Amino acid sequence: MLEYKGEVTSWRNAVRRHQREGVEGHTFLFGLSDGRVIDGSRDGNSARWLNHACAPNCETIKDEGRIFIDTLRAIEPGEELFIEYLLAIDDPASEEARTQYACRCAASGRRQSMLADAA
Protein backbone atom coordinates (compact mmCIF):
# COMPACT_ATOMS: atom_id res chain seq x y z
CA MET A 1 0.00 0.00 0.00
CA LEU A 2 1.30 3.41 -0.99
CA GLU A 3 0.75 6.62 0.95
CA TYR A 4 -0.09 9.82 -0.92
CA LYS A 5 2.45 12.11 0.64
CA GLY A 6 2.77 15.85 0.63
CA GLU A 7 2.22 18.93 2.66
CA VAL A 8 -1.22 19.23 4.25
CA THR A 9 -2.55 22.74 3.73
CA SER A 10 -5.75 24.61 2.92
CA TRP A 11 -7.27 24.66 -0.58
CA ARG A 12 -6.93 28.42 -0.62
CA ASN A 13 -3.25 28.31 0.21
CA ALA A 14 -2.51 25.51 -2.24
CA VAL A 15 -4.33 27.18 -5.13
CA ARG A 16 -2.71 30.55 -4.43
CA ARG A 17 0.73 28.94 -4.36
CA HIS A 18 0.00 27.06 -7.58
CA GLN A 19 -1.05 30.27 -9.35
CA ARG A 20 1.88 32.24 -8.03
CA GLU A 21 4.40 29.68 -9.18
CA GLY A 22 2.72 29.47 -12.57
CA VAL A 23 2.94 25.72 -12.76
CA GLU A 24 1.44 24.40 -15.97
CA GLY A 25 -0.69 21.32 -16.31
CA HIS A 26 -0.43 18.95 -13.40
CA THR A 27 -1.69 19.90 -10.00
CA PHE A 28 -0.93 17.51 -7.20
CA LEU A 29 -3.73 18.30 -4.79
CA PHE A 30 -5.64 15.56 -3.05
CA GLY A 31 -8.72 16.76 -1.18
CA LEU A 32 -9.34 15.64 2.38
CA SER A 33 -12.82 15.36 3.81
CA ASP A 34 -12.10 18.11 6.34
CA GLY A 35 -11.62 20.65 3.53
CA ARG A 36 -7.85 20.67 3.52
CA VAL A 37 -5.67 19.20 0.77
CA ILE A 38 -2.47 17.23 0.50
CA ASP A 39 -0.14 19.08 -1.85
CA GLY A 40 2.01 16.44 -3.53
CA SER A 41 4.26 19.10 -5.07
CA ARG A 42 5.69 19.67 -1.58
CA ASP A 43 7.47 16.69 -0.06
CA GLY A 44 5.38 14.37 -2.22
CA ASN A 45 6.17 10.93 -3.54
CA SER A 46 5.43 8.91 -6.66
CA ALA A 47 1.75 8.58 -5.71
CA ARG A 48 1.18 12.06 -7.14
CA TRP A 49 1.68 10.74 -10.66
CA LEU A 50 -1.32 8.42 -10.49
CA ASN A 51 -3.76 9.24 -13.23
CA HIS A 52 -7.53 9.22 -13.14
CA ALA A 53 -9.70 6.50 -14.62
CA CYS A 54 -13.45 6.08 -14.28
CA ALA A 55 -12.86 2.34 -13.85
CA PRO A 56 -9.75 2.48 -11.65
CA ASN A 57 -7.60 -0.44 -10.55
CA CYS A 58 -6.73 1.23 -7.25
CA GLU A 59 -8.81 2.66 -4.43
CA THR A 60 -7.98 5.52 -2.11
CA ILE A 61 -8.36 5.02 1.61
CA LYS A 62 -8.69 8.05 3.86
CA ASP A 63 -7.44 7.66 7.38
CA GLU A 64 -7.35 10.63 9.74
CA GLY A 65 -5.85 13.18 7.40
CA ARG A 66 -3.73 10.70 5.47
CA ILE A 67 -4.39 9.07 2.11
CA PHE A 68 -3.38 5.57 1.14
CA ILE A 69 -3.55 3.92 -2.27
CA ASP A 70 -4.37 0.23 -2.47
CA THR A 71 -4.89 -1.99 -5.48
CA LEU A 72 -8.36 -3.34 -6.19
CA ARG A 73 -7.10 -6.39 -8.06
CA ALA A 74 -3.90 -8.07 -9.15
CA ILE A 75 -1.76 -5.73 -11.25
CA GLU A 76 0.20 -7.02 -14.23
CA PRO A 77 3.88 -6.11 -14.45
CA GLY A 78 4.16 -2.78 -16.26
CA GLU A 79 0.46 -2.03 -15.94
CA GLU A 80 -0.32 1.59 -15.13
CA LEU A 81 -2.12 2.32 -11.87
CA PHE A 82 -5.22 4.49 -11.83
CA ILE A 83 -7.40 6.00 -9.14
CA GLU A 84 -10.74 7.76 -9.38
CA TYR A 85 -10.10 11.40 -8.52
CA LEU A 86 -13.55 12.41 -7.24
CA LEU A 87 -12.53 16.04 -7.15
CA ALA A 88 -14.56 18.47 -5.08
CA ILE A 89 -14.84 21.95 -6.56
CA ASP A 90 -17.12 24.91 -5.93
CA ASP A 91 -19.40 24.63 -8.94
CA PRO A 92 -19.29 21.14 -10.45
CA ALA A 93 -22.42 21.70 -12.54
CA SER A 94 -21.05 24.62 -14.55
CA GLU A 95 -20.25 24.12 -18.21
CA GLU A 96 -16.66 25.23 -17.66
CA ALA A 97 -16.09 22.70 -14.89
CA ARG A 98 -17.68 19.90 -16.89
CA THR A 99 -15.36 20.64 -19.79
CA GLN A 100 -12.23 21.14 -17.72
CA TYR A 101 -12.68 17.97 -15.70
CA ALA A 102 -14.23 15.74 -18.34
CA CYS A 103 -12.62 12.35 -18.68
CA ARG A 104 -12.16 10.74 -22.08
CA CYS A 105 -11.16 7.29 -20.96
CA ALA A 106 -12.75 4.31 -22.64
CA ALA A 107 -14.76 3.07 -19.64
CA SER A 108 -18.23 3.00 -21.15
CA GLY A 109 -21.26 3.54 -18.98
CA ARG A 110 -19.21 5.47 -16.46
CA ARG A 111 -19.53 9.06 -15.40
CA GLN A 112 -16.78 10.34 -17.70
CA SER A 113 -15.80 12.96 -15.18
CA MET A 114 -13.10 13.48 -12.59
CA LEU A 115 -15.53 15.30 -10.30
CA ALA A 116 -17.14 13.75 -7.26
CA ASP A 117 -20.48 15.50 -7.79
CA ALA A 118 -20.91 15.07 -11.53
CA ALA A 119 -24.26 13.55 -12.48
37 binds Zn ion (CB under 5 A): no
97 binds Zn ion (CB under 5 A): no
Residue 6 vs 56, nearer CB to Zn ion: 56
**What is d(CA 118, CA 116) in angstroms, rounded to the nearest whole number?**
6
- C-alpha distances (whole Å) from 30 to each of 65, 82, 86, 107, 118 are 11, 14, 9, 23, 17
**Residue 108 DSSP symbol:** T
The answer to whether 55 and 107 are in contact (CB under 8 A) is: yes
Smallest separation, CB 105 to Zn ion (Å): 3
Residue 67 vs 83, nearer CB to Zn ion: 83
86 binds Zn ion (CB under 5 A): no
Residue 50 vs 54, nearer CB to Zn ion: 54
Smallest separation, CB 10 to Zn ion (Å): 28
Coil/strand/helix, residue 80? coil
The answer to whether 87 and 32 are in contact (CB under 8 A) is: no
Residue 73 vs 104, nearer CB to Zn ion: 104
Contacting Zn ion within 53-82 (CB under 5 A): 54
Residues of the shown chain interacting with Zn ion in the complex, contacts defined by CB under 5 A: 54, 103, 105
